[in-house]
A = this chain, B = another copy of it.
Amino acid sequence: MTDHQRRMQRKKDVVDERIEKATEERGVLILMKGNGKGKSSSAFGTLARSLGHGKRGAVIQFIKGRRETGEYLFFRDHPRLTWQIMGQGFTWETQDRARDIEAAEAAWAVAKGLLENPAIDLIVLDEMSYMFKYGYLDVAPIVEALRNRPVHQNVIITGRTMATPLQEIADTISVVNDERHAFRAGVKAQAGIEY
Protein backbone atom coordinates (compact mmCIF):
# COMPACT_ATOMS: atom_id res chain seq x y z
CA MET A 1 0.00 0.00 0.00
CA THR A 2 1.44 3.40 -1.01
CA ASP A 3 1.39 6.51 1.18
CA HIS A 4 -1.29 7.94 -1.09
CA GLN A 5 -3.48 4.90 -0.66
CA ARG A 6 -3.03 4.95 3.11
CA ARG A 7 -3.93 8.65 3.31
CA MET A 8 -6.98 8.17 1.12
CA GLN A 9 -8.01 5.04 3.08
CA ARG A 10 -7.87 7.01 6.34
CA LYS A 11 -9.95 9.76 4.76
CA LYS A 12 -12.46 7.20 3.50
CA ASP A 13 -12.67 5.62 6.98
CA VAL A 14 -13.48 8.98 8.57
CA VAL A 15 -16.12 9.74 5.94
CA ASP A 16 -17.61 6.25 6.20
CA GLU A 17 -17.84 6.47 9.98
CA ARG A 18 -19.61 9.82 9.77
CA ILE A 19 -22.06 8.48 7.20
CA GLU A 20 -22.78 5.49 9.44
CA LYS A 21 -23.60 7.72 12.38
CA ALA A 22 -25.92 10.01 10.43
CA THR A 23 -29.06 7.92 10.31
CA GLU A 24 -31.90 10.28 11.13
CA GLU A 25 -34.15 10.87 8.13
CA ARG A 26 -36.04 14.14 8.22
CA GLY A 27 -36.27 17.51 6.57
CA VAL A 28 -33.89 20.23 7.67
CA LEU A 29 -34.00 23.97 8.17
CA ILE A 30 -31.03 25.60 6.47
CA LEU A 31 -30.05 29.23 7.02
CA MET A 32 -27.80 31.01 4.53
CA LYS A 33 -26.62 34.25 6.14
CA GLY A 34 -23.75 36.73 5.93
CA ASN A 35 -22.80 39.61 3.65
CA GLY A 36 -21.17 37.58 0.86
CA LYS A 37 -22.41 36.69 -2.61
CA GLY A 38 -24.00 33.27 -2.93
CA LYS A 39 -26.83 32.92 -0.43
CA SER A 40 -29.85 33.12 -2.74
CA SER A 41 -28.02 31.42 -5.57
CA SER A 42 -27.17 28.56 -3.22
CA ALA A 43 -30.85 28.17 -2.38
CA PHE A 44 -31.72 28.10 -6.10
CA GLY A 45 -28.98 25.56 -6.76
CA THR A 46 -30.38 23.32 -4.04
CA LEU A 47 -33.80 23.80 -5.58
CA ALA A 48 -32.43 22.57 -8.92
CA ARG A 49 -30.97 19.52 -7.14
CA SER A 50 -34.24 18.80 -5.45
CA LEU A 51 -36.25 19.12 -8.67
CA GLY A 52 -33.64 16.89 -10.33
CA HIS A 53 -34.58 14.17 -7.88
CA GLY A 54 -38.26 14.52 -8.74
CA LYS A 55 -39.19 16.55 -5.65
CA ARG A 56 -41.65 19.43 -5.43
CA GLY A 57 -40.47 22.92 -4.53
CA ALA A 58 -41.72 26.38 -3.68
CA VAL A 59 -40.05 29.77 -3.59
CA ILE A 60 -41.22 32.93 -1.88
CA GLN A 61 -39.09 35.93 -2.72
CA PHE A 62 -39.27 38.66 -0.12
CA ILE A 63 -37.71 42.08 -0.90
CA LYS A 64 -36.87 41.46 -4.54
CA GLY A 65 -39.94 42.60 -6.37
CA ARG A 66 -38.78 42.44 -9.94
CA ARG A 67 -39.78 39.62 -12.22
CA GLU A 68 -36.94 39.82 -14.72
CA THR A 69 -34.47 37.94 -12.49
CA GLY A 70 -32.68 35.03 -14.10
CA GLU A 71 -33.89 32.63 -11.43
CA TYR A 72 -37.52 33.50 -12.05
CA LEU A 73 -37.17 33.38 -15.83
CA PHE A 74 -35.43 30.02 -15.53
CA PHE A 75 -37.63 28.24 -13.01
CA ARG A 76 -41.08 29.79 -13.44
CA ASP A 77 -42.46 27.23 -15.87
CA HIS A 78 -41.28 24.16 -13.98
CA PRO A 79 -44.29 21.87 -13.40
CA ARG A 80 -43.29 20.90 -9.83
CA LEU A 81 -42.66 24.39 -8.58
CA THR A 82 -44.60 27.30 -7.06
CA TRP A 83 -42.99 30.74 -7.28
CA GLN A 84 -44.27 33.75 -5.39
CA ILE A 85 -42.75 37.24 -5.55
CA MET A 86 -43.60 39.75 -2.85
CA GLY A 87 -43.81 42.26 -5.57
CA GLN A 88 -42.97 45.68 -4.15
CA GLY A 89 -39.36 46.13 -5.19
CA PHE A 90 -36.49 46.69 -2.82
CA THR A 91 -37.77 48.34 0.32
CA TRP A 92 -35.35 51.24 0.04
CA GLU A 93 -36.95 51.99 -3.30
CA THR A 94 -40.57 52.01 -2.15
CA GLN A 95 -40.04 54.02 1.05
CA ASP A 96 -43.58 53.19 2.07
CA ARG A 97 -43.63 51.20 5.27
CA ALA A 98 -47.36 50.49 5.35
CA ARG A 99 -47.33 49.10 1.83
CA ASP A 100 -44.24 47.00 2.58
CA ILE A 101 -45.84 45.47 5.68
CA GLU A 102 -48.96 44.63 3.71
CA ALA A 103 -46.88 42.93 1.04
CA ALA A 104 -44.83 41.06 3.67
CA GLU A 105 -47.95 39.77 5.36
CA ALA A 106 -49.43 38.60 2.06
CA ALA A 107 -46.20 36.78 1.21
CA TRP A 108 -46.07 35.20 4.65
CA ALA A 109 -49.70 33.98 4.25
CA VAL A 110 -48.60 32.09 1.14
CA ALA A 111 -45.49 30.71 2.89
CA LYS A 112 -47.57 29.54 5.85
CA GLY A 113 -49.84 27.54 3.56
CA LEU A 114 -46.81 25.86 2.00
CA LEU A 115 -45.37 25.02 5.43
CA GLU A 116 -48.60 23.08 6.14
CA ASN A 117 -48.46 21.17 2.87
CA PRO A 118 -46.65 17.80 3.06
CA ALA A 119 -46.56 17.57 -0.75
CA ILE A 120 -43.92 20.33 -0.85
CA ASP A 121 -40.41 18.92 -0.29
CA LEU A 122 -38.40 22.13 -0.34
CA ILE A 123 -39.41 25.70 0.43
CA VAL A 124 -37.07 28.62 -0.21
CA LEU A 125 -37.86 31.77 1.77
CA ASP A 126 -35.55 34.08 -0.10
CA GLU A 127 -34.33 37.19 1.76
CA MET A 128 -36.97 36.66 4.44
CA SER A 129 -34.58 37.79 7.15
CA TYR A 130 -35.12 41.43 6.16
CA MET A 131 -38.75 41.12 7.18
CA PHE A 132 -37.66 40.68 10.79
CA LYS A 133 -34.88 43.23 10.62
CA TYR A 134 -37.27 45.91 9.40
CA GLY A 135 -40.02 44.81 11.76
CA TYR A 136 -42.39 43.92 8.91
CA LEU A 137 -43.09 40.45 10.30
CA ASP A 138 -43.06 38.97 13.78
CA VAL A 139 -40.71 36.02 14.06
CA ALA A 140 -42.68 33.99 16.67
CA PRO A 141 -45.46 32.68 14.38
CA ILE A 142 -42.87 31.84 11.76
CA VAL A 143 -40.85 29.77 14.24
CA GLU A 144 -44.05 28.00 15.24
CA ALA A 145 -44.98 27.23 11.63
CA LEU A 146 -41.45 25.94 10.97
CA ARG A 147 -41.57 23.69 14.05
CA ASN A 148 -44.93 22.26 13.05
CA ARG A 149 -44.15 21.70 9.39
CA PRO A 150 -44.28 18.21 7.80
CA VAL A 151 -41.36 16.10 9.06
CA HIS A 152 -39.73 15.53 5.66
CA GLN A 153 -40.05 19.11 4.45
CA ASN A 154 -36.82 21.07 3.90
CA VAL A 155 -36.71 24.85 4.25
CA ILE A 156 -33.98 27.29 3.25
CA ILE A 157 -34.06 30.87 4.51
CA THR A 158 -31.63 33.42 3.08
CA GLY A 159 -30.62 36.92 4.10
CA ARG A 160 -27.69 38.87 5.52
CA THR A 161 -28.71 38.79 9.16
CA MET A 162 -30.85 36.12 10.79
CA ALA A 163 -33.26 36.54 13.70
CA THR A 164 -31.96 34.66 16.77
CA PRO A 165 -35.09 32.45 17.18
CA LEU A 166 -34.52 31.12 13.65
CA GLN A 167 -30.88 30.34 14.42
CA GLU A 168 -31.97 28.45 17.53
CA ILE A 169 -34.12 26.00 15.56
CA ALA A 170 -31.94 25.71 12.44
CA ASP A 171 -30.26 22.41 11.53
CA THR A 172 -27.64 23.90 9.23
CA ILE A 173 -26.28 27.44 9.28
CA SER A 174 -23.86 28.59 6.60
CA VAL A 175 -22.28 32.01 6.80
CA VAL A 176 -21.24 33.50 3.47
CA ASN A 177 -18.56 36.12 3.97
CA ASP A 178 -17.50 38.63 1.40
CA GLU A 179 -13.72 38.48 1.10
CA ARG A 180 -13.73 40.40 -2.17
CA HIS A 181 -16.48 41.61 -4.50
CA ALA A 182 -16.17 42.65 -8.15
CA PHE A 183 -18.78 45.35 -7.57
CA ARG A 184 -16.45 47.22 -5.22
CA ALA A 185 -13.76 47.13 -7.91
CA GLY A 186 -16.14 48.94 -10.26
CA VAL A 187 -17.49 45.97 -12.23
CA LYS A 188 -21.12 46.49 -13.17
CA ALA A 189 -23.70 44.01 -11.87
CA GLN A 190 -24.68 41.73 -14.72
CA ALA A 191 -27.69 39.66 -15.72
CA GLY A 192 -27.05 36.02 -14.96
CA ILE A 193 -24.59 36.67 -12.17
CA GLU A 194 -26.07 39.16 -9.71
CA TYR A 195 -29.74 38.70 -10.72
Contacts and interface: CB of A to CB of B under 8 A. Distances in A.
A97 B52 CA distance: 32
Interface in A1-49: 2, 4-5, 8-9, 11-12, 15, 18-19, 21-26, 28, 30, 32, 34, 36-49
B97 A75 contact: no
A191 to B, nearest CB: 4
B97 A2 contact: yes
B74 A49 contact: yes
A165 to B, nearest CB: 15
Interface in A165-183: 170-183
Interface of A: 2, 4-5, 8-9, 11-12, 15, 18-19, 21-26, 28, 30, 32, 34, 36-53, 55, 69-75, 90-97, 121-122, 154, 170-183, 185-193, 195
22 contacts: A4-B95, A5-B96, A8-B94, A9-B92, A11-B92, A15-B92, A24-B186, A25-B188, A26-B187, A39-B42, A42-B42, A42-B176, A44-B44, A45-B46, A49-B191, A51-B74, A154-B190, A154-B193, A171-B182, A171-B187, A174-B177, A175-B179
